[in-house]
Structure 1
Amino acid sequence: MTHDHDLVLRPTARQADAALNPPPGRNGGDLVVETLAGLGATTVFGLPGQHALGMFDALRRSDLGYVGLRVENNAGFAADAHGRITGQATPLLLSTGPGALTALAALQEAAAASAPVLAISSQVPSEGIGGGRHGYLHELRDQKASFRDVVKSVHTVRTASQIPSAVAAAWESALTAPHGPVWVEIPQDVLLAETALPVVTALDATPRDLVPRPELTAAAAHLLQHAERPAIIAGGGVVRSDASGKLLALAEKLDAPVVTTFGGKGAFPWEHPLSMQSWLEDRHTTDFLEDADVLLVVGSGLGELSSNYHTFAPRGRVVQIEADLGKLESNHPGLGIHADARTALTALLETVGERRDPSAAGRVSALLSKVRERIAGQELTLEQEVLAAVREALPDDSPSFWDMTILAYWAWSAFDARRPNTMHSAQGAGGLGYGFPAALGAAAADRTRPVLAVSGDGGAMYSIAELASAKQYELPVTWLIVDDGGYGILREYMTDTFGEATATELSRPDFVALAESFGVPAVRTTAESLREDLAKALAQPGPSVVVLPAVLRMFAPTHL
C-alpha cells in the first residue's frame, strides 16, 4: 500500500540529481541564501562586514534582491517596513559586534510593533566564540545575549549542516502570531567553508495557527450580543492579521462603535457611521469607552498610548483578543482570548447573533463633534491645514511612514489612513530615525506606487545618509522634512514642564541643497503650497525631498 507521506518523502529525479551532484564552489553562505530563497524570501537588506562576507558573496550566486543601506539600524528599519507591507519574514544580513549592535534599536521597534524581521548575523570564527582569548576584531563575550532580551527567539549555528534548519526555525518563529524579529548567528568560518551538502530546494516552515478556544468564543459572543452599549478597540493585530474585513462585518452585525489605536490605523473605515476614528488621546473618547458595558479589544495590549496614558478605567466587561500571551489581560482583567485576531474574529462572526442599536451612530457623531469642538478651541489651524495637505497629496493606496515628530503625533489621532496597512510609525518603541529608511523598505517591496516618509529635522539627521541608498536603487520615496530648528516635541514638553527648553535647539544643513548633492530632487515649500509640491514630488519617479520650514504645536491632551 502506498501512503501519501511516502510520496512526499520520495525525492524527484531532479532533486535526487541535485543532491548527488551539487555545484562546486558553494559555502555556508550559499546554504543561507538557498534556504531564504526556499522559504520564499525575495529581497534582503543589510550591510556587509568582515565576518559576514561569506553570506554577501553568496548573494551574487542567487536570485535574491539586495538593498544595502548605509547604517545597520536603518537597514533594520527598512527590513521592518518590508515585513509589515508584505506580511512575510524579511531577512536582515548583519556583521559581527558593532555591526550587529547598531541594529538593536531597529529590532526593538520591530519587536514592539510585531514586525517579522529575520536578522542573520555573522560571528567570530568558532574557536573564538565565548572565550575572548583570541582577541578577534568585533568580538563580544556573548553576542546573542545582547539580543535575547529584544528579539522573539535566538538561533545559533555551529556547523554548515545546521544552517537550513536554524534559518527555517527562525522564519517560522518570526511569522507565528504574534509576529516579531528573530536572531540567527553563524560563525565566519562556517560561512566561508566549502560544502558538499545538497542544494536547499524546499523547506516547510509554515507558522503555527493560533486559534481561539471555542468555549471562550461562545462566552464572548453571548456578552456582545446581549450588551446594551458595546464598543470595540481595534489595534495593530487586526492590521497584521489582515482582519479588517472581519472587523467591519462584526461591528455592523453588532452595531458596535469602533476606535482604532495608533498602531491599528486603517483597520476600520474612517468615515463609517460607527467609526470613532483614532482620538484616543482625548478624554471624550476615553469616557465613551469607559461607559461601554462590554468592550471588545482586538489586537491591542492597551498600553500607554492606547489607554490615554493609563487613565482609561473601563467599568464594563472587557473581552480581549490578543496573540501575545504576555499582553493578555496585562493591563485590565477580563475575558482573555489568546488567539490571532483574524481567526478569533472569524469565530465570533460565526457564533454571535445580530444586535440592532439605532442610537449607536448618533452617539458616535456626538462624540466626534465634541472632539472637533475641543480642537477648534486651541487655535491650531496651521497644523490641521498641513495634515490635510498631506492627506490630499498622498494617493489612497500609498504607504506612509512617520518618524517621531509633531506632525506624526497629529497623524496618530487625526489622519485618515484610508486603507489597512498603509500608515506606519515608530510608536512601538519610539526611537528617532524610522520614517525615511522604513519608507525605502516599503518601496523595495512594491515599486509601483509612491511611498511617503515624514520626519522632523532632528529625526531626519539620523538617516540622512540613506539619501544615497534611495538614489542608488532609485526607490520611489518622497521625504517630507518639517524643519522647526530642533527637537520640536521635546522643546514643547520641556517648556510646558520646566518653563524653558534645554538641548533641543539644532544647527542643521540646507536640506534642499544636501538632497540635491545626492542627485535627489528637492524643493522648499510653504503650508500654502505643500499639497501641490508634495503631489508633484510623489508623482515623479525615484526619490525626492520636500522641506517645510514650520513650527507646529501639539493639541492639548486631555488625560483627566
Structure 2
Amino acid sequence: MADTTTRPLGAQISHMLKDRGVDVIFGIPGVHNQEMYRGIEEAGITHVLARHEQGAGFMADGYARATGKPGVAYVITGPGLCNIMTPMGQAYSDSVPMLVISSCLDELAARRGQLHQMKDQRGAAETVCDWSEEARTAEAAYALVDRAWAEFSASRPRPKHIQVPIAQLEATAPAAPRPMRQTPIAGGTPMDVEKAQRLLAGARKPLFIFGGGARAGADAARKLVRHLGAASFTTYAGRGIIDPDAPLHFGSYLARPDSAAVIAQADALIAVGTELAEVDLWRAQLGHTAPMLRVDLDTESLTDPARAEWHVQSDAADFLSALHGAVATDAPGDSGWTAEEVARARLKWRLEVDAEYPGVLRVAEALQGCLPQDAMIYSDMTQFAYAAKEVWNMARPNHWHHPYGFGTLGYALPAAIGGAVARQGKPTLAIMGDYGFHYTMAELGVAVELGLPIPIILWDNAKLGAIEASMIGAQIAPNAVIARNPDFMKLAEAFGAGAERPARLSEMQEAVTAAFQADGPTLIYVTPDIAD
C-alpha cells in the first residue's frame, strides 16, 4: 500500500529518499532549508552535520564511491549551494552519483535584498552538474527525484541538483509515489561483441586499456586478457581491475611519455570505461597506430578526439562478460608480448617516478605494507599521491579514490569521512598534503564527533611542492608557494583527535595500525625526512 500520510513537502522528500534506499544525508541546516530536516529522523535516515557545505559535498562523494549508491546532501539557498558547487564539479568529472537538494527563494524578479539571494541559483549549479532543476510543486519534486534515480542506474552517473521554493517545502503535500523499478543499464549487443572479435581476430599484440568505468567488470577483464594473451594498462581510476602481478600488465603508467611507444606496438586496441582524458595521459595523443574499439556508456567519450574506429555504447561489465564468453571456447592466444619487456618497462617507469619524487616511494611502500587488504584510501592533490597512484599496485578495484578530473584541494578528509560512514567497521584512510589540509581541516571535528577511526597521513613538505616544481620548469621564480603552517599536532589535539609524529618508517606503520583501532581519527604527521 502506498503511504497516504500528509506531511509538509520537506518531510515527504526525506521519506521518499528513504524508500529509495537512502540511509545517510550529509548537510547543514539553516532557516531556509529547515523544513527538509523535519522528516529526516522520522524517516529513519542518519544525518551527518558537516562543518562547511564543501565538506558535506565531499562526504557525499566519498560515501557514493564507497557504496556505489548515490550520495545525498541538503544545503540552503545562496551560499550553501555555492559552497557545495566545488564537490559537485568534482563528482561530475569523476562520474560520481550525487543528489544535492537545496531550498530556493520563492520570488526573485520583484524583490531584492532577500537573505541568501542570488541572480540565478539554478543556473549557477547547472555549470557543475548533469542538470539543475526547480521543483515548484510536490509532483515535480517527486518526478525529479525519480528521474535522478533512473539516470544514476541507467547512464553515466553524475551529480544532479534539485531546488525547491521555501513556501513549497513548508506546504502540505501527499506522500511520494512508490519507488519505480530500477532502470537497467544498456548492455552490449551480439553485434557489438562481434565487432570486438573481428578486431581481435589474428591480432598478435592485442592491448586493453581499462578505466574507472570498467571496475565492475574486473573479473571478466582478468579472464579475458589472460585467455587472449593480451597486454593491458589501467588508468589511475582503473587500478585493481587487472591483477597487479599479471605478467603482461603494464600498470597505471599511461602518463609516462614513452608509454605511447609501447601502445604503438599494439595491433589491436580496446579501451573500456575510460575517457582517455588529459588527466589520464598528460599528452595530446594516446600513441596508437592500430584500429581501436571504445566501450563506454557516454556517447561524448565515444566521439572524442581519440576517434576510435569502432564504438560500443554499453555497460562495461556486461560487454566484458559477453566478450569473454564469446572467445572462451577459442584456443588461448599466442601472445606477441613478453613478460620480460613488460617488467623492463614497469621498472623503468618506476625509477622515473622515484627520481621525480625523491623519497616518496619508500614511504609509500612502508604505508602499503601495513594496511589491511580491504583498506579504502582517499587521497588529495599532493605530491605523495601523485607518485603513489602510479606505482601503488591495487589488488582490487574501487579502493583508492582521488579527485582526478576537477582536481580540487581539500577532498581527502571529508571524502574519507563519507567513506568511513558507509564502511562502518572497515579500514578507511586519508592521505593529504599540508596545504590541502587547510581547505577542509574543520571536518576533522566531524570525524571526532562520529568516532571514526580514520588514520590521516598528513604529508608536510612545507610548501606547494608541485607548483614550485612547475614554476621552476617554466623558468618562473617560485612565488607564493610557501604558507605558514600551524602546529598540526596541537591542532588535531584541539579537535579531540589523536596525533602522532613518527620519526621512522617503522613508527609510522605502528601509528597507522593503532589508528585503525582507535575510537576516533588520528592525524599522523609525516615529513619527507622520514625516508632518510
- SS of equivalent to 1:248: helix
Q: 1:174 to 1:466 in 2, by over 3 A?
A: same
Question: d(CA) in 2 for partners of 1:405 and 1:551?
Answer: 16
Question: Where does residue 62 of structure 2 map in the other structure?
Answer: 81
Question: d(CA) in 1 for partners of 2:77 and 2:351?
Answer: 54
- SS of equivalent to 2:121: coil
Question: After the TM superposition, which of the residue ranges 298-307 and 509-518 deviates more from structure 2?
Answer: 298-307
Aligned-residue offset at 1:312: 2.7
Question: Where does residue 263 of structure 1 map in the other structure?
Answer: 237
Picking from 43, 47, 55, the partner of 1:62 is 43
Question: d(CA) in 2 for partners of 1:205 and 1:122?
Answer: 28
Residue 132 of structure 2 corresponds to residue 154 of structure 1: yes
Aligned-residue offset at 1:223: 1.0
- SS of equivalent to 1:401: strand
Question: Where does residue 202 of structure 1 map in the other structure?
Answer: 178
Q: 1:354 to 1:539 in 2, by over 3 A?
A: farther
- SS of equivalent to 2:516: helix
Picking from 218, 231, 250, the partner of 2:207 is 231
For the Cα contact (< 8 Å) 1:77–1:434, is it kept in 2? yes
Question: d(CA) in 2 for partners of 1:419 and 1:210?
Answer: 25
Q: Match for 1:348: what amino acid?
A: L
Structure-to-structure mapping, 1:311-460, within 5 angstroms: 311-334=285-308, 335-352=310-327, 353-360=330-337, 361-374=339-352, 378=355, 382-460=359-437
Question: d(CA) in 1 for partners of 2:530 and 2:304?
Answer: 35
Deviations 1:474-500 (A, max 9, x none): 122111111111212111111222253
Q: Sequence identity, in percent? A: 28
Question: d(CA) in 2 for partners of 1:467 and 1:551?
Answer: 26
Question: Where does residue 38 of structure 1 map in the other structure?
Answer: 19
Picking from 146, 154, 157, the partner of 1:168 is 146
Question: d(CA) in 1 for partners of 2:383 and 2:95?
Answer: 24
Residue 519 of structure 2 corresponds to residue 545 of structure 1: no
Question: d(CA) in 2 for partners of 1:552 and 1:338?
Answer: 48
Q: Match for 2:430: what amino acid?
A: A
For the Cα contact (< 8 Å) 1:284–1:370, is it kept in 2? no
Aligned-residue offset at 1:258: 1.4
Deviations 1:334-384 (A, max 9, x none): 2111111112212212323444225533332232233345456x3866211
Structure-to-structure mapping, 1:479-518, within 5 angstroms: 479-518=456-495
Question: d(CA) in 1 for partners of 2:478 and 2:334?
Answer: 50
Give the structure-1-normalised TM-score: 0.90
Residue 72 of structure 2 corresponds to residue 91 of structure 1: yes
- SS of equivalent to 1:357: coil
Q: Match for 2:34: what amino acid?
A: L
- SS of equivalent to 1:44: strand
Picking from 179, 187, 197, the partner of 1:211 is 187
For the Cα contact (< 8 Å) 2:296–2:314, is it kept in 1? yes
Q: 1:132 to 1:266 in 2, by over 3 A?
A: farther
Residue 161 of structure 2 corresponds to residue 183 of structure 1: yes
Aligned-residue offset at 1:389: 1.4
For the Cα contact (< 8 Å) 1:320–1:329, is it kept in 2? no
Q: 1:503 to 1:248 in 2, by over 3 A?
A: same
For the Cα contact (< 8 Å) 2:504–2:530, is it kept in 1? no
Residue 269 of structure 2 corresponds to residue 283 of structure 1: no
Structure-to-structure mapping, 1:238-249, within 5 angstroms: 238-239=214-215, 242-249=216-223
Question: d(CA) in 2 for partners of 1:486 and 1:27?
Answer: 51
Q: Match for 1:371: what amino acid?
A: W
For the Cα contact (< 8 Å) 2:273–2:295, is it kept in 1? yes
For the Cα contact (< 8 Å) 1:527–1:548, is it kept in 2? no
Give the structure-2-normalised TM-score: 0.94
Q: Mark the runs of 5 or more structure 1 residues left unpaired by the alignment.
A: 1-11, 554-560
Q: Match for 1:370: what amino acid?
A: K
Question: Where does residue 103 of structure 2 map in the other structure?
Answer: 122
Q: 1:545 to 1:136 in 2, by over 3 A?
A: same
For the Cα contact (< 8 Å) 2:353–2:387, is it kept in 1? no
For the Cα contact (< 8 Å) 2:453–2:517, is it kept in 1? no
- SS of equivalent to 1:484: coil
Q: Match for 1:447: what amino acid?
A: Q
- SS of equivalent to 1:226: coil
- SS of equivalent to 1:263: coil
Q: 1:435 to 1:354 in 2, by over 3 A?
A: farther
Question: d(CA) in 2 for partners of 1:159 and 1:201?
Answer: 14
For the Cα contact (< 8 Å) 1:153–1:173, is it kept in 2? no
- SS of equivalent to 2:441: coil
For the Cα contact (< 8 Å) 1:238–1:298, is it kept in 2? yes
Question: d(CA) in 2 for partners of 1:255 and 1:349?
Answer: 13
For the Cα contact (< 8 Å) 2:142–2:177, is it kept in 1? no
Question: d(CA) in 2 for partners of 1:148 and 1:380?
Answer: 38
Residue 505 of structure 2 corresponds to residue 531 of structure 1: no
For the Cα contact (< 8 Å) 2:350–2:391, is it kept in 1? no
Question: After the TM superposition, which of the residue ranges 347-356 and 161-170 deviates more from structure 2?
Answer: 347-356
Deviations 1:26-84 (A, max 9, x none): 21111110110111111111111221110012213220111111111111111011111
Aligned-residue offset at 1:172: 1.7
Q: Match for 2:218: what amino acid?
A: S
- SS of equivalent to 2:208: strand
Q: 1:185 to 1:368 in 2, by over 3 A?
A: same
- SS of equivalent to 2:271: strand
Q: 1:132 to 1:357 in 2, by over 3 A?
A: farther
RMSD: 2.0
For the Cα contact (< 8 Å) 1:43–1:91, is it kept in 2? yes
Question: After the TM superposition, which of the residue ranges 386-395 and 161-170 deviates more from structure 2?
Answer: 161-170
Count of matched residue pairs? 526
For the Cα contact (< 8 Å) 1:477–1:543, is it kept in 2? yes
Question: d(CA) in 1 for partners of 2:51 and 2:33?
Answer: 16
Q: 1:446 to 1:181 in 2, by over 3 A?
A: same
Question: d(CA) in 1 for partners of 2:465 and 2:36?
Answer: 41
For the Cα contact (< 8 Å) 2:279–2:405, is it kept in 1? no
Question: After the TM superposition, which of the residue ranges 221-230 and 398-407 deviates more from structure 2?
Answer: 221-230
Q: 1:549 to 1:158 in 2, by over 3 A?
A: same
Q: Match for 1:398: what amino acid?
A: A
Question: After the TM superposition, which of the residue ranges 146-155 and 228-237 deviates more from structure 2?
Answer: 146-155
Aligned-residue offset at 1:305: 2.7
- SS of equivalent to 1:454: strand
Question: Where does residue 5 of structure 1 map in the other structure?
Answer: none
Q: 1:373 to 1:465 in 2, by over 3 A?
A: closer
Question: d(CA) in 1 for partners of 2:465 and 2:349?
Answer: 24
